[in-house]
Structure 1
């Protein structure tokens, strides 16, 4: 029997969400999750830069982004969806809202880094108009943590 899941609400993160956000980040990024203190500081410095998808019981997805002080460019610092919710368009939903907010704020360029072997993520970002730099950045996040840098011009 298939049980219905509660509807997901997209909203800004609250301080009380930080432990749950940390749990989800660890579930999504098993090898390179953010330490709790980094999520804490991202929340303190960029309170409007973390969106979550909440089903009323737990967080099912998140997006973290930060914009430079001159508002010219922004970085997507993390995008994650609970493993059992992947393939349902939740990452796209989060990214579309991030891009909408950045356009509204007058940001000109968005960048992100992605593991080159993460075909689903690279495909999602390409479908949203991001283009990769020609070369993979070796050891970008530390030894053997190569990343593809992708960019999107918002006009």
Structure 2
């Protein structure tokens, strides 16, 4: 009886010689932001929004005011991969989405949708009647996401607001009525 090489004996299904497919990173954990996340949140905001990122002091104040509606995607190694922030007014039961982002390397995996669906669910539970947001008119991917969630351009003018954030800074204002919020 002759012994066959160990590699061949162990590799009946070509497990050792077949190339290993690249695996997707595990999905990040969606959770409410913590105060300790603020430096990483600032890094993320600057990475995604660059020159229009929120200054650190404003992120701190937004966290203090709206922490229950500041949700993050935590990849488990200390880096945040996305966030959504909703600010709610008590009197009118309106809310504004002040920020939604996902890092470029994690886009097109449904994470923006996951963030939005969770924050909308939380807003509905709080009795919010209407959610509004603005989006750059050229950001087709974001507009498609918002439309798929039920957001519609706010009238007048099909939602387009020229110079909304200053000269040349047009925005599309979109709105969603939350069932059960009224």
CA contact (8 A) 1:65 1:77 kept: yes
Aligned match of 2:172:
148
Task: Quote how far apart the aligned CAs of 1:138 are.
Answer: 1.5
| Structure 2 unaligned residues grouped into runs of 5+ | 1-20
* TM-align CA RMSD: 1.3
CA contact (8 A) 2:69 2:122 kept: no
SS in 1 for 2:160: coil
TM-score where L is the length of structure 2: 0.81
Which of 1 and 2 has greater Rg? 2
SS in 2 for 1:66: strand
Match of 1:55 among 64, 70, 75: 75
| Structure 1 unaligned residues grouped into runs of 5+ | none
TM-score where L is the length of structure 1: 0.94
Q: Confirm or deny that 1:88 pairs with 2:78.
A: no
1:120-139 alignment to 2 at 5 Å? 120-133=141-154, 134-139=158-163
68-77 vs 52-61, which deviates more? 68-77
